Amino acid sequence: MNEYGSINLMAKEAFDEMNERYNFINKEKSDLLEAKESLMATIKEIDDTAEVQFMFTFNSVRDNFIKVFRSLFNEEDSCDLILTDPSKPLDSDIDIIARPKGKRPLSINQLSGGEKTLTSTALLFSLYLSKPAPFCIFDEVDAPLDDTNIDKFNNIIRDFSKNSQFIVVSHNKKTIASTDIIYGVTMVEQGVSRVVAVDLRDVA
């Protein structure tokens, strides 16, 4: 008994207090683990849903891109949208493949300015077809196009204008002539602009 030394009469109370604290922390830990598990399950569910939706939209845009691209170029032209990492579609980059007939560019940067514009237009319209909008605004998109490609551009806008209204800012006479209504901005006196409208449907 001498070896035990003095006895701490408060040991029981200290133990009970520490035990209560230990049980509280354990409960908090269990709650956190359950919350983490629930959160991870929710994240996985959201990721799975997002991946399904993304792949559905991607495949739809891809099919539309091929169709619109070939309508702007030729039916024999090669084009595609490719995921660089198909195993992780949500984190993957997307490569745009555009190879007009007779050309074999290694990248889209090797296309001419007009070809890049038409490829961009094809991509925009492929996105539009997936989720059509009531209005589309183009600001001098036709500037780099030659006369042949201007006609293709105007034809596809005319085709899509059955379902949406297109507002096109342009200085090209062919584009202006293919529209229904022209809004011209003129400055009759210095610092005062005036909008003049001409409805070509009435003229026709």
In whole angstroms, what is the distance from residue 178 CA to residue 183 CA?
13
Q: Write the DSSP assignment of 147-163 as a string of letters.
A: HHHHHHHHHHHHHHTTT
Express each pLDDT in 106-162 by its tens digit.
677 778 778 888 888 889 889 988 888 888 888 988 888 888 888 888 888 888 888
According to the model, what pLDDT value does residue 38 have? 95
* Bigger pLDDT: 3 vs 55: 55
* Bigger pLDDT: 43 vs 7: 43
Judge whether residue 33 has pLDDT over 90.
Answer: yes
Torsion angle of alpha carbons 17, 20, 24, 29, nearest 10°? 100
Judge whether residue 71 has pLDDT over 80.
Answer: yes
According to the model, what pLDDT value does residue 140 have? 87
pTM for this prediction: 0.68
Q: Which domains does the chain have, with CATH numbers?
A: 12-131 (3.40.50.300), 132-204 (3.40.50.300)
Q: What is the mean pLDDT of the chain?
A: 87
